[in-house]
């Protein structure tokens, strides 16, 4: 079976963990500080970086740092992982769900504008599968109405628009280092911002509200990253650029050779990070297609089968979102990770093309 995702942990990562454990400095310390500095330099054009224990924590702390809470609204896509909306709800604010664009799977700026109210404090686009959202339009909207723009960049390490890196467009951004992401720290996340004041506040919030021990300046959380996680991240970061190039090469191979299904499009001027290579199964049952792929030795993933506004945790929102409704029935992500060999790329392609050719058969 070719797995849908394959985290790559090598000897250097293992040695880095042993080194930290032998040092006796295991909690947040010099490794975290070094990881923040290196991520800033290599991924987000020298913006300020604050490492935390998950991508969800990164989103949550950004919202708290901006003072968003009860009575406020934050516009989010419904086609995303629940963590995007969870982070909003945990502040006491209301996530307002809107539709996506058909081609990019990213939030639709027109739907955003139509959903704005006097209570809207921020827009939170998700760079879905590694394709950047339309940040130029969203930036203009936020500037016009005085709102914050918060990037959920969990999928989008090294993605860019017109040469400007994802994570540097808005007020702040959140990256994830979950094991299946483009790089990992085991568990972890990163807040990115160009605001020194916001970065300082988030550093307080992640550490029980204190900069100096026992001198708590505000009510905070324990969202720190450990030096063990940061050490893994520092090694992974040195591999990220090559891994991203391999993902893009693998994606290009699929786009050149796969037939009979909807292929992901890349907008002009965009550098896609291809966290996922997501096809659309439009003329067959997607779930059956996925099972048949597995029978042929090819893993796949469905991201995401239920729109967030229809989950029990956010029940009661009945907004009409036609592009989202189509996506949840059609999307299927096939392996694109950098560990794939050329023979595996051919096997995946042949399996997809074979099943696509059966589109007239009965399910």
pLDDT per position as a tens digit, 279-336: 999 999 999 999 999 999 999 999 999 999 999 999 876 678 999 999 999 999 999 9
Give start-end residues of each CATH 3.90.1150.10 domain in the chain: 241-356
Q: What's 326-351 look like in SS3?
A: HHHHHEEEECCCCCCCHHHHHHHHHH
Distance CA 106, CA 176 (A): 18
Query: Counting Cβ atoms within 10 Å, is residue 320 exposed (0-12), middle (13-18) or buried (19+)?
Result: exposed
Q: At what angle do helices 30-43 and 227-257 cross, to 10 degrees?
A: 30
Section 52-81 average pLDDT: 98
Q: At what angle do helices 82-89 and 55-65 cross, to 10 degrees?
A: 30
* Per-residue pLDDT, 317: 65
* Per-residue pLDDT, 315: 80
User: pLDDT band at residue 92, thresholds of 50, 70 and 90?
Assistant: very high
User: pLDDT band at residue 360, thresholds of 50, 70 and 90?
Assistant: low
* Per-residue pLDDT, 313: 94
CB 261 within 8 A of CB 280: yes
Using the predicted structure, report yes or no on whether residue 363 has a pLDDT greater than 50: no
The β-bridge partners of 224 are 52
For 93-128, what is each residue's pLDDT tens digit?
999 999 999 999 999 999 999 999 999 999 999 999
CA dihedral 126, 132, 134, 138 (to 10 degrees): 50
User: pLDDT band at residue 233, thresholds of 50, 70 and 90?
Assistant: very high
* Per-residue pLDDT, 114: 96
* Per-residue pLDDT, 362: 42
**Around Cβ 343, how many Cβ atoms within 10 Å?**
8
Architecture of the domain delimited by 241-356: Alpha-Beta Complex (3.90)
* 226 DSSP assignment: P
* Per-residue pLDDT, 261: 98
CB 362 within 8 A of CB 267: no
Section 225-249 average pLDDT: 98
Section 7-26 average pLDDT: 95
> Which residue is associated with the tokens 């100096």?
212
- Supply angle C-alpha 25, 27, 33, rounded to 5: 85
* Per-residue pLDDT, 318: 66
Buried b (16+ CB within 10 A) or exposed e, 201-215: bbbbbbbbeeeeeee
The answer to whether the predicted template modeling score (pTM) of the entire model surpasses 0.85 is: yes
Give start-end residues of each CATH 3.40.640.10 domain in the chain: 11-235
Cis preceding linkage at 249, omega within 30: no
What does the longest C-alpha to C-alpha distance in the chain come to?
69
Q: Edge-to-edge, what's the strand order for the sheet holding 120-123?
A: 48-52, 189-193, 172-176, 148-152, 120-123, 73-77, 94-98
On average, the pLDDT of the chain sits at 96
As assigned by CATH, the class of the 11-235 domain is alpha beta
CB 270 within 8 A of CB 160: yes
From 60-74, 170-184, 310-324, the region with the lowest mean pLDDT: 310-324
For 348-357, what is each residue's pLDDT tens digit?
999 999 999 9
**Around Cβ 260, how many Cβ atoms within 10 Å?**
18
CB 151 within 8 A of CB 169: yes
Section 136-143 average pLDDT: 97
């Amino acid at each position: 079976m070719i797995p849908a995702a394959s985290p790559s942990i090598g000897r250097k990562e293992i040695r880095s963990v042993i080194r930290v454990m032998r040092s006796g400095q295991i909690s947040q310390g010099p490794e975290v500080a070094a990881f923040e500095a290196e991520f800033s330099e290599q991924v987000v054009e020298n913006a300020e970086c604050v490492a935390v224990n998950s991508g969800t924590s990164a989103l949550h702390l950004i919202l708290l740092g901006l003072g968003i809470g009860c009575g406020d609204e934050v516009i989010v896509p419904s086609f995303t992982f629940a963590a995007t909306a969870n982070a909003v709800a945990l502040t006491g604010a209301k996530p307002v769900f809107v539709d996506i664009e058909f081609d990019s799977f990213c939030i639709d700026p027109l739907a955003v504008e139509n959903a704005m109210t006097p209570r809207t404090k921020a827009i939170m686009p998700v760079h879905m599968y590694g394709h950047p959202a339309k940040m130029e339009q969203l930036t203009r909207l936020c500037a016009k109405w005085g709102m914050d723009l918060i990037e959920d960049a969990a999928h989008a390490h090294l993605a860019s628009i017109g040469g400007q890196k994802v994570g540097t467009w808005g007020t702040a951004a959140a990256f994830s280092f979950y094991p299946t992401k483009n790089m990992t720290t085991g568990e972890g996340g990163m807040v990115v911002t160009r605001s020194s004041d916001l970065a300082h506040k988030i550093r307080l919030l992640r550490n029980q509200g204190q900069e100096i021990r026992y001198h708590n300046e505000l009510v905070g959380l324990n969202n720190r990253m450990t030096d063990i996680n940061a050490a893994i991240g520092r090694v992974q970061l040195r591999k990220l650029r090559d891994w991203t190039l391999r993902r893009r090469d693998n994606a290009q191979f699929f786009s050149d050779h796969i037939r009979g299904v909807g292929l992901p499009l890349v907008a002009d001027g965009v550098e896609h990070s291809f966290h996922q290579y997501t096809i659309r199964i439009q003329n067959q049952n997607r779930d059956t297609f996925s099972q048949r792929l597995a029978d042929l030795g090819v893993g796949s993933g469905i991201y995401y089968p239920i729109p967030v506004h229809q989950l029990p945790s956010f029940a009661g929102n009945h907004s009409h979102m036609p592009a989202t409704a189509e996506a949840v029935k059609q999307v299927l992500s096939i392996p694109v990770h950098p560990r794939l060999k050329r023979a595996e790329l051919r096997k995946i392609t042949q399996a997809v093309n074979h099943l696509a050719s059966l589109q007239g058969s009965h399910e």
